[in-house]
C-alpha cells in the first residue's frame, strides 16, 4: 500500500472526526448558544441589511414628509432605537463569535493531534525506507564483491 492509497482514507477519517466534533458541539449547545447563533446569522445577512435599510428609509421619509410624524428631524427616536439595537446585538454577536472561536480552537487541537500522528507515521516510513535502502546497498555491495572476485579468478 502506497502513500497515495492512504491519503483518501486519511481524509475520510479526518472528515469523520470533524463531523463528530461538530455534532458534539451542536448537541451540547445551550439555549443561549443556539439563540446567539441564530441572531448572528440573521443580523449578518443581506436580507436583514436590506430590510433594515428599507425600514430606516421609510421611517425617515414618513417623519420628514408626513404631518402625523412621530419623530421629526433630527430623528432622535430613530437614533435611540438604533442604539438600543446595537447595544443588544453586539454582545449577542460576541457570544456567537466566542463559541465559534472555541469550536475553531478544538478543531485546531484535533488537526494538531492528527498532524503529530502523521509525522510519527512518516518518520516510521522514512526509517523503513532507509532500512530497505541499506539492505539494498548491502546486497549490491555483496554482488559487486562477488563479481569482482569472479573477474579476478578468471583473470588470475
> What are the domain boundaries of the chain?
15-155
State residue 20's pLDDT score.
73
Integer distance in angstroms from the first to the last C-alpha of the chain? 48
Nearest one of 90, 63, 57 to 76, comparing CA atoms: 63
What's the rounded Cα separation, in Å, for the pair 80 and 59?
13
Name 60's Cβ contacts closer than 8 Å, sequence gap at least 6.
Answer: 75, 78
Say what angle helices 76-155 and 3-27 make with each other, to 10 degrees. 150
pLDDT band at 68 (very low <50, low <70, confident <90, very high): confident
- CA dihedral sign of residues 144, 150, 153, 155: negative
The pLDDT of 32-43, averaged and rounded, is 90
Name 92's Cβ contacts closer than 8 Å, sequence gap at least 6.
Answer: 35, 36, 39, 40, 43
State residue 49's pLDDT score.
96
Nearest one of 80, 59, 79 to 70, comparing CA atoms: 59
Decide: 40 and 90 in contact? Cβ < 8 Å. no
What's the rounded Cα separation, in Å, for the pair 99 and 105?
10
User: The whole model's pTM is what?
Assistant: 0.60
pLDDT band at 25 (very low <50, low <70, confident <90, very high): low
What's the rounded Cα separation, in Å, for the pair 141 and 156?
22
pLDDT band at 66 (very low <50, low <70, confident <90, very high): confident
Query: Residue 28 pLDDT > 80, yes or no?
Result: no
State residue 136's pLDDT score.
96
Amino acid at each position: 500500500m502506497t502513500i497515495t492509497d492512504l491519503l483518501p482514507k486519511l481524509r475520510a477519517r479526518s472528515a469523520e472526526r470533524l463531523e463528530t466534533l461538530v455534532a458534539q458541539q451542536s448537541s451540547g449547545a445551550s439555549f443561549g448558544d443556539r439563540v446567539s447563533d441564530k441572531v448572528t446569522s440573521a443580523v449578518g445577512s443581506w436580507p436583514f441589511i436590506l430590510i433594515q435599510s428599507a425600514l430606516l428609509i421609510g421611517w425617515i421619509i414618513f417623519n420628514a414628509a408626513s404631518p402625523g410624524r412621530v419623530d421629526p428631524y433630527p430623528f432622535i427616536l430613530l437614533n435611540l432605537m438604533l442604539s438600543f439595537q446595537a447595544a443588544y446585538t453586539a454582545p449577542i454577536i460576541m457570544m456567537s463569535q466566542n463559541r465559534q472561536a472555541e469550536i475553531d480552537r478544538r478543531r485546531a487541537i484535533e488537526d494538531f493531534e492528527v498532524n503529530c500522528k502523521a509525522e510519527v507515521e512518516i518518520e516510521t516510513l522514512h526509517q523503513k525506507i532507509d532500512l530497505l535502502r541499506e539492505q539494498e546497498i548491502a546486497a549490491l555491495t555483496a554482488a559487486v564483491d562477488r563479481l569482482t572476485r569472479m573477474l579476478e579468478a578468471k583473470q588470475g
